Structure 1
Amino acid sequence: MKLLFIGDSITRCGRHEDPEGIGSGYVRLIHDYYKTNRPTENYEFINRGVGGDRIIDLNARWEQDVIQINPDMLSISIGINDVWRQLDSRDQKQIYPEEFEHIYVKLLNRVREKTKAEIVLMEPTVIEEDIEAEGNQKLKSYVKIIHKLSDQFEATLVPTHQAFLTFLKAKADYKLTRDGVHMNSAGNMLMATTWLNNVNVNDINLKIRGSRREVLNDMKG
């Protein structure tokens, strides 16, 4: 079973320095969980996170990094840079919610048309560890779009943004990021546990096996 994770630097998280190409972030924690809890399963984890990526950058590499890989499960985490660039690079062409949704729909349509992948949509996390920060206010529209698309495409939703807000509301004296955006080990753990609590890879695997049996039965018939 081939599991593909795609997104920005939060997903990338050292994958180029890792001999396994998985990195040291939330993808690594998910990988290690399944490798130790399902040792007999043949899970292949692929990380295609690229630092600085926005939805338009995913669009530019979608054929090579998703369609050609043809995963059984595709997990997407995008949206932070679409908002962050509005704060730190105001002279750059911006991707506002309407265009973000338009491109995201196009990408998901291609997945449905070209692959049989089960889709997992992750909410963007946070910009600054402050609920009232401008970045987190702007993220609300993007989070709503991802909820809408999860319904439209019958995808599994991972409420990562909500998990971070819940933590921030608790006012714990502990940081989740190194700079307000990029995760420290605790932030990666929160992302991974939120993913694991909402995605059942075993169910997806059983579904895939059932589909393959149906194909083989049709061929025999």
Structure 2
Amino acid sequence: MTQQRLVFIGDSITEWGRFEDPLDLGDNYVRIIRDLLAIESPEMFPEIINKGIGGNRISDLAERWQEDVIALNPDWLSISIGINDVWRQLDNPDMEQIYPDQFERIYDQLLKEVKNQTDATIILMEPTIIEEEIHSRGNELLKAYLEATHRLAEKYACILVPTHKAFLDVLATGLDVPLTIDGVHMSSTGNQLMAKTWLETVTLFK
């Protein structure tokens, strides 16, 4: 059987460490997913490609979509985006911002291109969190981007990974183990939670 191809694309949460890694995977949730798939589903183990780049917003994905997604012709495509679209409003408010309507419009076009030009099964991951406080300003701003992600998942029949919900559920327990190192980038625990949520949702390899 021909080996299938799984492409992950996103921002620094997806990229984390991949440019220092000879395998170009990094030290992140993508690597954990790779490791667990190799152990649990060796007969269906896909080729895994990480195309995360730090700082990316949805507009940055659009600029490299043809090369980093369409040209790779993935069988499965997993997208994690939206954190920087909100975070830039907080840490760099003077730059040109991407608000929810523009976020959804660009995202819609990218998904349309995947549907029209490939046979990929699309997996949308909810944006995770901005600060480990359920009602932080970042998490409140993130709600509109989550809603857009949900609408697009329904419109294009994508698999939706409830990453944001998983993080809020853990935060609600009061667990005294950090999920991030700075409110956004994952600790080892956060990466484990992302991978666990992804694997529980995406059953294609089981």
- TM-score range (shorter-chain normalised) is over 0.9
Aligned to 1:208: none
CA RMSD in angstroms, aligned pairs only: 0.8
Secondary structure of 1:68's match? helix
Q: Tell me the TM-score normalised to structure 2 length.
A: 0.97
- TM-score normalized by the length of structure 1: 0.90
Which structure 1 residue ranges, 4+ long, deviate > 6 Å from structure 2?
Answer: none
Is 1:189 the counterpart of 2:183 in the alignment? no
Give CA deviations for 1:79-125 in whole Å, capped at 9, x if unaligned: 00000000010000000000000000000000001100000000000
Aligned residues: 203
Structure 1 residue runs without a partner (length 5+): 204-221
**Partner Cα separation in structure 2 for residue 35 and residue 201 of structure 1:** 14
Q: 2:39, 2:21 → 1: CA distance?
A: 19
Alignment pair present for 1:110 and 2:143: no
| d(CA) in 2 for partners of 1:52, 1:102 | 20
Q: Deviations over 1:107-159 (max 9, x none)?
A: 00000011000000000000000011100000000001111111000000000
Q: Which has the larger radius of gyration?
A: 1
Q: What corresponds to 1:46 in structure 2?
A: 49
State the distance in 2 between where 1:37 and 1:176 align: 25
1:35-74: per-residue Cα shift (whole Å, max 9, x none)?
Answer: 1112233410000000000000000000000000010000
2:55 and 2:45 mapped to 1: Cα distance? 31
* Correspondence list, 1:121-136, <5 A: 121-136=124-139
Which of 3, 8, 12 is the matching residue for 1:5? 8
* Counterpart check, 1:165 vs 2:140: no
How far apart in 2 are the matches of 1:53 and 1:94?
A: 13
Cα distance between partner residues in 2 of 1:64 and 1:103: 17
What is the match of residue 62 of structure 2?
Answer: 59
The aligned amino acid for 1:60 is: E
Change (3 A) 1:202 1:61: same
Whole-Å separation in 2 of the counterparts to 1:39 and 1:118 = 20
